[in-house]
Amino acid sequence: MVLAQGMAMMMWLLPVILGVATLLSCSGESAQVKTEESRGAESGMAPIEFAPPSWETIPGSQLGEQIRLGYQIVANTQEYASSYVGNRLNCTNCHLDAGLNPNAASFVGLAAVYPEYRTRNARVNTLADRINECMERSLNGRAFPPDSSKLQAVVAYITWLSRGVPSGATISWRGLQRIDSRRPLNAENGKNVFAGKCAFCHGTDGQGTMAAPPVWGPQSYTIGAGMARVTVAAAFIKSNMPRSWGWSLSDDDAYDVAAYINAQPRPDYPGKVRDWPKGGKPADSPY
Ligand code: HEC
Ligand code: HEC
């Protein structure tokens, strides 16, 4: 138990201790993407490999500096974008390994798919717009101004991670690998799974510990965040939680525990009144 806790803490603190050095090791490890049920619509194009560039390919120019800053903002949002964040989360808490993990809404290849039309706001979103959506909803913060050098840095980082991915390509690892629940949600089971498999790191009160960020309460994501939808949280949890033990929960347990954490109090998102203006609201939207 004590050893496991020590290891969990190391896993979480390592990127902080080693800084950018872990980027390299993470990219190697995360190359083991599950390919059987590739995500996203299939097109006639040959499949693109998950092959993020290695750290040494960052140019030693002004652009290279922007890319490194973008990485820092993603990995240590609390420090590098503190005036914009409204909770205790960092981008990398969900976009694991600073967006290099192919099982956790990876950033690799995204520059090739944006701009993209999205039904949530019924308009074409640039990559910068999409980053700001997570700033406001997932980090309960405020959007970077359009000319912000921090916003440009995150765009530069994601664009660098998308090198070699042709525009409009189908990215099989995009988003989260969705799962189905085959029976009605079981609230009691969700509570028990949380107590038995999550509270150890996230706290019995869900407010986070030294080993893991909060999953509900005032310092968590808002009800307007993607993670506040049960199907999205279940997919994330199934493939990534407990941290380092992805795919250890059954689909039903992942659904029940996702429903449990999303039934707890969390910040409101006042902008929700403008969502899905032309329809298309998903069935599991909490509002
Ligand atoms: C609470 C978890 C969480 C945090 C924190 C978070 N995001 Fe997200 N983000 C998500 C989820 C969930 C999605 C949607 C994934 C999907 O479509 O399946 C998403 C989507 C995105 C996308 C679009 C992905 C795609 O495939 O089109 C970008 C870009 C993005 N986030 C950037 C960021 C940045 C930059 C930060 C930090 C400023 C951040 N996110 C913080 C959960 C989070
Ligand atoms: C071994 C410790 C550990 C356990 C056990 C664990 N987590 Fe996590 N969890 C983490 C860490 C650490 C992160 C942030 C990942 C990072 O930054 O690399 C995280 C992130 C998350 C996130 C996204 C960020 C946030 O706080 O909203 C959710 C949701 C989550 N965990 C849910 C769960 C659920 C549900 C369980 C139980 C099935 C669970 N976790 C078990 C350590 C753990």
Are 251 and 145 found together in one domain?
no
User: Is the CB–ligand 2 distance for residue 241 below 6 Å?
Assistant: yes
User: Is the CB–ligand 2 distance for residue 77 below 6 Å?
Assistant: no
Q: Which residues pair with 118 in a beta bridge?
A: 123
| pTM (two decimals) | 0.90
Q: CA 238, CA 157: separation in Å to the nearest integer?
A: 27
Mean pLDDT of the chain: 88
Identify whether 242 is preceded by a cis peptide bond (ω within 30 of 0). Answer: yes
Indicate the number of domains in the chain: 2
Are 57 and 141 found together in one domain?
yes
Q: Which residues pair with 125 in a beta bridge?
A: 116
pLDDT of 243: 97
User: Is the CB–ligand 2 distance for residue 96 below 6 Å?
Assistant: yes
Are 99 and 221 found together in one domain?
no
Ligand 1 lining (C-beta closer than 6 Å): 74, 77, 89, 91, 93-95, 105, 110, 130-131, 134-135, 138-139, 154, 174-176, 221, 225-227, 232
Q: Does a structural domain hold residue 170? A: no
Are 67 and 156 found together in one domain?
yes
Asked if 103 and 32 touch (Cβ cutoff 8 Å), the reply is no
Q: Residue 119 sits in a domain of what CATH number?
A: 1.10.760.10
Q: Does a structural domain hold residue 177? A: no
Predicted confidence (pLDDT) per residue in 245-283, tens digit: 999 999 999 999 999 999 999 999 999 999 999 999 999
Predicted confidence (pLDDT) per residue in 155-165, tens digit: 999 999 999 99
Considering only CA atoms, which of 268, 195, 284 is closest in space to residue 233? 284
Token look-up 């939808």 returns 229
State the residue range of the domain holding 245.
Answer: 187-274
Q: CA 33, CA 98: separation in Å to the nearest integer?
A: 16
- Grouped pLDDT means (10 residues each) for the chain, 287 residues: 42 41 38 42 71 95 98 98 98 98 98 96 97 98 97 98 93 96 94 98 98 98 98 98 97 98 98 96 95
